[in-house]
Chain A
Amino acid sequence: MPVTIEADNIIRGFGTGDLRTIAVRGVSITLEAGQMTLLMGPSGSGKSTLLAILSGLLHPDEGRVSALDADIWKMSDYQREAFRRRYCGFIFQGYNLFPALTAQQQLEIVLQWGGNVPKKQAASMALQTLASLDLRDKAHLRPAELSGGEKQRVAVARALVKEPSLVFADEPTSALDWEHGRQVVDLLHEAAHKRDATILVVSHDPRLIPLADRVLNLEDGKLWDGDEPTPAI
């Protein structure tokens, strides 16, 4: 499968002077289309920082990130925003759904505001995406009327509604029980395979390992391929 994201020698630290800590230490990585990659690591290992850098949300101190053949950190802020709008979907740990909007409207707002999609077409696309995640009959409900698992599935639907080539998920199952967490990861896995999307899931939950196409371990800011033994820190 074609490589969609290629990062080379990424370094990123926080703070200055004696208080400076390095979150990502010279990480190089490639991600492919049609694959769900699981980025594992304990708390504070730098995996969310790496996801933010690869997705164009956080500037690296050093290194280069090429996504879909474009060097995203050489783009202007405006170009990077447009890139994310066109190609990227995000799922975060919290559901972050607008309390006032129904499940369908949570998706429509992305299409209407981001892609100027007409109202009718946006409604049709939203319903189609919700149906694919088995949420068709929940489309009219607001977040307060949905269970935790349903809310996270709506968040996944929001990330997938514009059919992005790249999907980034940061701890998408941490607020869910195993059953619901597994459903969410299955959905992402399916999206990778059916839509040829590149999916990067950050998690510290080892139960997700069998569900991923590829597993990477990040510890103390350094990357270890899942096939290699994890070094003792």
Chain B
Amino acid sequence: MQYALRTIWFERKRFIPGIVAVAFSAVLIALQTGILLGLIGVVSVPIVNSKAQIWIGYKDTLSVDLGRPIPTRYAEYVWANPNIETVNEYVQSFTFWTTTSGQNELAIVMGTNVSPESIGPVDQLDPEELVYLTEPGSIVVDRNDADRLEASELGSTGESFGRRLRIVGFVPDMGSISGPYLLCSLSTARMILRMPEDKTTYLLATVKDPTKVDQVIDELNAAFPDFTAFEAERFSTRSKMHWLTKTKAGIAIGFVALLGLAVGASVTSQTLYAATVASIRELAVLRALGIPGWRISVYVLQQAIIVGILGLVTSGPVAYALAQLARRLGTHATLPTWLITSTIVVTLTMSLFSGLIALRSLKHAEPASLLR
């Protein structure tokens, strides 16, 4: 490895395009996927901001924002399970927000229990805001949605289907793709959505013993086949995967990743090829001296791996800085460990592949060609 490393350091100008190409690929793959995951991730904001361990909705609900009304009386059956600790109703559906200037904005109503014992999506609210929400027509929104709703200050108002709504709080992490979330009490939500008292979109539950969540879910699903109980994290993933596949965003990720890999692989392989060709006479001497061809191939592949590692090291701070920039611009780029690990594996594989392509240059390392 030392000879490959020395060569790269000494001829760094020659290798820089390859290192930059690898960094470009890694940043492109990680950041594009991260931004998309961040965008898709907001679908599960209600689940993430809730203490509920179990979400019970209409049978086979595909995503949390696609829930259909279910009877509230079902809560009694849930309560009947001896392992259940709490059950809350939760209402969620689309509506329109009419701004003071008369513009209509698509919005999502999140109606939840606003008592201090609530297990609904109120994690970001302080006790004071919970009290404010008990007043009919009060809502809390994401700070970044204020301009969109034309409601930049506390006390700003708007309408939804003729019902006057007043903003009583702003929270930082409740952004959405389709429309702003309007977090409110159950009664306000039912008022906006004209949903009767005997209907709810979800029943949220916690269990006394957290290790028995799956057992309770199995019992509920077996007893009441018209509804489906989901474990919170799995429901979050299910919601995200639905949007990822339904909107073809997954295919978009694939193309972006492929593009990044193609650019990275072509530049890296050309860099390695040129570097090997530049040393072809030296390598031919080694071949004449009986150094096996595989040993020289290993040297080229070592260069490929080092270029890959240096590219990845370069990409780290760049990806972090760009992710911060995206956050400031209001887009959340999610960079989970699995994405970083996958990017490292894919990028190093690409570098190794580039090295394998560059190996074709070694056929020119013919000792007899050194003789005049």
- For the complex, is B80 an interface residue (Cβ under 8 Å from A)? no
Q: Which one of A49, A82, A90, A98 lies within 8 Å of B288 (CB-CB)? A: A90
Q: Which one of A52, A82, A96, A162 lies within 8 Å of B285 (CB-CB)? A: A96
Interface string of A86-128 (1 = CB under 8 A from B): 1011101110111111000100011001100000000000000
* Known contacts A92-B370, A96-B370: A85-B9 contact under CB 8 Å: no
| Contact across chains for B371 and A57 when beta carbons are under 8 A apart | yes
B-chain residues with CB within 8 Å of residue A159 when the two chains form the complex: 289
- For the complex, is A81 an interface residue (Cβ under 8 Å from B)? yes
A-chain residues with CB within 8 Å of residue B370 when the two chains form the complex: 90, 92-94, 96, 170
List CB contacts (< 8 Å) of A13-61 with chain B: 48-49, 51-52, 55, 57-58
Stretch at the interface among B108-116, B224-232, B276-284: B276-284
- For the complex, is B6 an interface residue (Cβ under 8 Å from A)? yes
CB distance from A221 to the nearest CB of B (A): 15
| Contact across chains for A114 and B372 when beta carbons are under 8 A apart | no
| Contact across chains for A100 and B289 when beta carbons are under 8 A apart | no
- For the complex, is B214 an interface residue (Cβ under 8 Å from A)? no
B-chain residues with CB within 8 Å of residue A82 when the two chains form the complex: 290
Chain A residue nearest to B3 (CB atoms) is A109
- For the complex, is A224 an interface residue (Cβ under 8 Å from B)? no
Q: Which one of B3, B288, B292, B372 lies within 8 Å of A93 (CB-CB)? A: B372
| Interface core residue of B290, B295, B367, B368 (most chain A CB under 10 Å) | B290
| Contact across chains for B290 and A81 when beta carbons are under 8 A apart | yes
| Contact across chains for B371 and A84 when beta carbons are under 8 A apart | no
Give the distance in Å from the alpha carbon of A96 to the alpha carbon of B370 in the complex: 9
| Interface core residue of B282, B286, B367 (most chain A CB under 10 Å) | B282
Chain B residue nearest to A161 (CB atoms) is B289
Give the distance in Å from the alpha carbon of A86 to the alpha carbon of B289 in the complex: 9
* Known contacts A101-B6, A170-B371: A114-B282 contact under CB 8 Å: no
Give the distance in Å from the alpha carbon of A105 to the alpha carbon of B284 in the complex: 17
* Known contacts A94-B281, A100-B9, A105-B3: A85-B291 contact under CB 8 Å: yes
Chain B residue nearest to A112 (CB atoms) is B3
CB distance from B282 to the nearest CB of A (A): 5
Give the distance in Å from the alpha carbon of A118 to the alpha carbon of B288 in the complex: 22
A-chain residues with CB within 8 Å of residue B3 when the two chains form the complex: 98, 100-101, 105, 109
Give the distance in Å from the alpha carbon of A89 to the alpha carbon of B288 in the complex: 8
List CB contacts (< 8 Å) of B31-77 with chain A: none
Give the distance in Å from the alpha carbon of A85 to the alpha carbon of B288 in the complex: 8
A-chain residues with CB within 8 Å of residue B284 when the two chains form the complex: 96
| Contact across chains for B372 and A96 when beta carbons are under 8 A apart | no
| Contact across chains for A48 and B371 when beta carbons are under 8 A apart | yes
- For the complex, is B218 an interface residue (Cβ under 8 Å from A)? no
A-chain residues with CB within 8 Å of residue B282 when the two chains form the complex: 96-98
Give the distance in Å from the alpha carbon of A94 to the alpha carbon of B348 in the complex: 36
CB distance from B16 to the nearest CB of A (A): 15
- For the complex, is A150 an interface residue (Cβ under 8 Å from B)? no
| Contact across chains for A86 and B290 when beta carbons are under 8 A apart | yes
- For the complex, is B123 an interface residue (Cβ under 8 Å from A)? no
| Contact across chains for B6 and A51 when beta carbons are under 8 A apart | no
| Contact across chains for A113 and B7 when beta carbons are under 8 A apart | no
B-chain residues with CB within 8 Å of residue A171 when the two chains form the complex: 372
A-chain residues with CB within 8 Å of residue B7 when the two chains form the complex: 98, 100-101
- For the complex, is B135 an interface residue (Cβ under 8 Å from A)? no
Give the distance in Å from the alpha carbon of A101 to the alpha carbon of B353 in the complex: 26
Chain B residue nearest to A90 (CB atoms) is B288
| Contact across chains for A83 and B371 when beta carbons are under 8 A apart | no
Interface string of B289-314 (1 = CB under 8 A from A): 11110011000000000000000000
B-chain residues with CB within 8 Å of residue A84 when the two chains form the complex: 288-290
Give the distance in Å from the alpha carbon of A84 to the alpha carbon of B296 in the complex: 16
| Contact across chains for A90 and B285 when beta carbons are under 8 A apart | yes
* Known contacts A57-B367, A98-B279: A109-B286 contact under CB 8 Å: yes
Chain B residue nearest to A94 (CB atoms) is B281
| Contact across chains for A170 and B368 when beta carbons are under 8 A apart | no
Chain B residue nearest to A159 (CB atoms) is B289
| Interface core residue of B9, B11, B371, B372 (most chain A CB under 10 Å) | B371
| Contact across chains for B281 and A90 when beta carbons are under 8 A apart | no
| Contact across chains for B285 and A92 when beta carbons are under 8 A apart | yes
Give the distance in Å from the alpha carbon of A83 to the alpha carbon of B291 in the complex: 11
| Contact across chains for B289 and A49 when beta carbons are under 8 A apart | no
- For the complex, is B338 an interface residue (Cβ under 8 Å from A)? no
Give the distance in Å from the alpha carbon of A86 to the alpha carbon of B292 in the complex: 12
* Known contacts A92-B285, A109-B3: A51-B371 contact under CB 8 Å: yes
A-chain residues with CB within 8 Å of residue B288 when the two chains form the complex: 55, 57, 84, 88, 90, 92
Give the distance in Å from the alpha carbon of A13 to the alpha carbon of B300 in the complex: 34
* Known contacts A86-B290, A88-B290, A114-B290: A96-B281 contact under CB 8 Å: yes
* Known contacts A49-B371, A93-B372, A171-B372: A110-B286 contact under CB 8 Å: yes
Give the distance in Å from the alpha carbon of A61 to the alpha carbon of B372 in the complex: 19
Chain B residue nearest to A143 (CB atoms) is B282
Chain A residue nearest to B299 (CB atoms) is A113
A–B Cβ pairs within 8 angstroms, 11 of them: A84-B289, A88-B288, A89-B289, A92-B285, A98-B279, A99-B11, A100-B11, A105-B6, A113-B292, A113-B296, A158-B285
Q: What 4 A-B pairs have minimum CB-CB distances, sorted nearest first?
A: A85-B290, A100-B10, A84-B290, A48-B371
Known: A57-B368, A96-B285, A100-B11. 6 other contacts (CB 8 A): A52-B368, A85-B291, A90-B367, A96-B282, A159-B289, A162-B289
